[in-house]
A and B are shown apart, each in its own frame.
Chain A
Amino acid sequence: MDQYAASMRRYVQYMLYVVALFVLGWGFTPYDSMFLGLILGSAFSFYNLWSMYTKMKQLGQAATGEKKVYSIGTLSRFAVGALAAIIAIRYPETFHLVGVIIGLMLTYIIILIDSLLQIRRL
């Protein structure tokens, strides 16, 4: 497994741990809407992570001349953020907006923390 795939695997692992914590919070604490918002945001964040991974991989292959690539999918990730916001605004009693925003940012927070840990390990 190359370094890129290994780091992606690590991010997915951390994401799953955190989402499991959110599900426990939804089940065992009285803050239902907050944790549902976090779970919704994390689900969309997961899609963003996968989209980013596949597009970067294609871009790397394009650079070595194996494949063609036309975009890195930024617009589709913006659209996912907008969709999450629309759902949270449409159903405010079910999904807490702040939770959805934090959930959407979960991937980026995990990538930041993991890269800081990797730098410290070097």
Chain B
Amino acid sequence: MALGSLAAAIAVGLAALGAAIGNALIVKSTLEGIARQPELKSTLQTIMFIGVALVEALPIIAVVIAFLVM
């Protein structure tokens, strides 16, 4: 049980780390783009939305797998 919890915690922690780095890069680039050209806000938001969605898909699977391991 203790080892299972440890495995789950490591899985969620690493997944969250990856998602945090990925999201941060996407949001940073989008904010720079919007600050430079505010008229492109809508287009950039759509692209950011797609990027964030694809980045977040795997960590959510990792959370579910962590619960299975526990």
Contact = CB atoms under 8 A, between A and B. Distances in A.
A97 B65 CA distance: 11
Contacts, number: 96
A77 B58 CA distance: 12
Interface residues of B, number: 32
B4 to A, nearest CB: 13
Interface of A: 2-5, 7-8, 48, 52-53, 56-57, 59-60, 63-64, 72, 74, 77-78, 81-82, 84-86, 89, 97, 100-101, 104-105, 107-108, 111-112, 115
Interface of B: 12, 16, 19-20, 23, 27, 30-31, 34-35, 38, 41-46, 48-50, 52-54, 56-57, 59-61, 63-64, 67-68
